[in-house]
Structure 1
């Protein structure tokens, strides 16, 4: 016996627990906590351009969630198969039930609830529209008559409302909204300096400097980290020029502040000062996908003069070759190969290896598709 899936419809804003503008990372984290309600989830994306193309979460059998390509924000919600009883769906609008196992949502019911609208194959209102064609009709099946008041609604689509009433394109980015408050909209990287974070609905940017910003500063500006991890993995130490032997080395007391919700890790020294930063791109299909939210980083170049407030930069969605040339390197350095699945038994990915390209003050972790999965500043 399936329990009923109760969903409230909020045109232009959301459906049930899903809010337009929420990040992909936050939605999947929420689904992990509700596996009893959404036991089957599929992630669909284009493996050839997964950094910039939309991503779909399919929650069988009723809900499809479309996320924008670059900033991974919930763009469109599609509710379908309203009559499928596995599980049954009850759809509410304001204080009333518009669809349930006992009440079929039809054209006449939509008109009574939402009022008149322009003529067309679907009934369209700001932030929501109702379609009378199921998936088979979209593939070339027979269309229903517009004069049939008893037409059954097959799909409900919720998207952002635009001020001018224009239609949202599936490839558009989500316009700033309440769900994005406090989220990073830009992380401007300055090599040898640190990163400047611009947050949605926050006027003053946060400047985090290597060698200056403290653990207390991070907590005051960003809140408590979701996890504190004490550094134990010292495998990269073999590449260091230090002559210190393992027997005489002081005990390791460095630790990480993990801000998964921002897509950033900070390595802090024993004196509690930021020593290193890692900014994650959250690329679907990569080993670190969904561990971190996407951090929209940009690597800043040198300003033209002292009055240049907008120096050139290269964003996370550029290819590695473009970023390397931008940093002044016609040929990239010799990379090291990293396979993040080596420590994870049972995890199999089509492209599990990445390459680490080390420059002065920055390391780029690059996928086989030439996307930068992570930026490390030190």
Structure 2
């Protein structure tokens, strides 16, 4: 049985690890991977057909804990303890739930202090006691209006605990990424794609003050195709990983593929996972030849490898009805059918079926790649964009 500390409006955890409100989904997964054998029975839940309509969840079924992540920013917004029999809980060193200590209303008031009278929900038959950043749900059958006392019944036990930011769990705002979760990495606000193929990135990371306490620091950088690896690294910092291409599976679709001699060198990627960005460099010139922007949707082969790249691409439309805008804004949330209605995209897509060298099966299924101008859009079966590749048209890439 896990023994965890509850910190209202912040987290649940112990001395080894901590699930913190505002942390990214991938950071929570890293904790779970580090606790293999201790935390078991983890389920990932999401909507396959409409992943933006429901929360992204990590359900720790053997420990009765559910982590709810906002489907847009993919940061932790609510922590639920829904089976209190499976976990031991403390607050400020005082145990308020265990096999020996029952989480009754009297025990909660003793541990957390006094608060305003709770609210009764007739639909769920729950009496909810609110503290700032944490709520306790007590199932009841009889309730006397205007009094927290229950008629002819002992003090009920809490059946659900929720931890959240602010005074109400119904608030739609998700906590920002905590400074303690930065880990020396650079994170992305948004990326603007300029017409000449350059990327204008608005980022943030940790900076230092005179007192050496960490603080949030904003950064604005612009990188472009044709720039050297040194220039890109100077702008964005060291990549999280450098990956060398072993083969180019898309080369056969190039008009001049038969004229290309086998190369003794390999193009290579700079992977920036927290920016949702890959930069492909030419093996001979060491200049950027492609940018790949990832949307990190659940149900995709690369899900949880990248953070979502919040990009904005303005494209002139090929088909414009009366009173329609002459351009279309493409973001990480624009569905492909909306784009295809306005642009003359390639009618026959390329089928992309990813697989690793270890496991040749792709349980998420194939995606379709559509070309338009100097862009390649990778589209999932639910019509969401999985990635956008930007390249120079004259490269025949």
With the shorter chain as reference, the TM-score category is 0.7 to 0.9
3-state SS, counterpart of residue 116 of structure 1: coil
Match of residue 207 from structure 1 = 222
Find out whether 1:183 has 2:178 as its counterpart: no
Q: CA RMSD in A?
A: 2.7
CA distance in 1, matches of 2:176, 2:259: 53
Match of residue 158 from structure 1 = 163
Find out whether 1:5 has 2:21 as its counterpart: no
Alignment of 1:93-242 (within 5 A): 93-120=91-118, 121-133=127-139, 142=141, 146-148=148-150, 150-161=155-166, 165-169=167-171, 172-178=172-178, 182-200=186-204, 201-212=216-227, 214-242=228-256
Match of residue 84 from structure 2 = 82
User: Measured at CA, do residues 79 and 364 of structure 1 come closer, stay the same or move farther in structure 2, by a change above 3 Å?
Assistant: same
Equivalent residues of 1:320, 1:371 under 8 A apart? yes
Q: Which shows bigger deviation, 352-361 or 329-338?
A: 329-338
Question: Structure 1 or 2: larger strand share?
Answer: 2
Can you list the C-alpha shifts for 1:93-116, whole angstroms capped at 9, x where unaligned?
Answer: 223333233322221122123222
Equivalent residues of 1:70, 1:173 under 8 A apart? no
Structure 2 stretches of 5 or more lacking a match?
A: 119-126, 205-215, 317-326, 392-397
Alignment of 1:245-284 (within 5 A): 245=259, 248-270=261-283, 271-284=285-298
Equivalent residues of 1:324, 1:332 under 8 A apart? no
Structure 1 stretches of 5 or more lacking a match?
A: 303-310
Equivalent residues of 1:279, 1:374 under 8 A apart? yes
CA distance in 2, matches of 1:357, 1:113: 59
User: Measured at CA, do residues 156 and 218 of structure 1 come closer, stay the same or move farther in structure 2, by a change above 3 Å?
Assistant: farther
User: Measured at CA, do residues 298 and 197 of structure 1 come closer, stay the same or move farther in structure 2, by a change above 3 Å?
Assistant: same
CA distance in 2, matches of 1:143, 1:188: 57
User: Measured at CA, do residues 330 and 20 of structure 1 come closer, stay the same or move farther in structure 2, by a change above 3 Å?
Assistant: same
Can you list the C-alpha shifts for 1:3-40, whole angstroms capped at 9, x where unaligned?
Answer: x4122212111111111111112212321222122221
CA distance in 1, matches of 2:203, 2:142: 46
Equivalent residues of 2:301, 2:362 under 8 A apart? no
* C-alpha displacement of 1:245: 4.7
User: Measured at CA, do residues 353 and 193 of structure 1 come closer, stay the same or move farther in structure 2, by a change above 3 Å?
Assistant: same
Match of residue 311 from structure 2 = 297
Query: How many residue pairs end up in the alignment?
Result: 346
3-state SS, counterpart of residue 149 of structure 2: coil
Equivalent residues of 1:25, 1:261 under 8 A apart? no
3-state SS, counterpart of residue 375 of structure 1: strand
CA distance in 1, matches of 2:390, 2:345: 20
Equivalent residues of 1:231, 1:255 under 8 A apart? yes
Q: Which shows bigger deviation, 174-183 or 93-102?
A: 174-183
CA distance in 1, matches of 2:89, 2:83: 12
Can you list the C-alpha shifts for 1:271-300, whole angstroms capped at 9, x where unaligned?
Answer: 333221111111112222223222222223
Q: Which shows bigger deviation, 113-122 or 42-51?
A: 113-122
- 314, 319, 334: which is aligned to 2:330? 314
* C-alpha displacement of 1:375: 0.8
3-state SS, counterpart of residue 235 of structure 1: coil
Equivalent residues of 1:52, 1:70 under 8 A apart? no
Higher RCO structure (Cα 8 Å, ≥6 apart): 1
* C-alpha displacement of 1:341: 4.2
Equivalent residues of 1:69, 1:173 under 8 A apart? no
Find out whether 1:362 has 2:363 as its counterpart: no
Q: Which shows bigger deviation, 237-246 or 10-19?
A: 237-246
TM-score, scaled relative to structure 2: 0.78
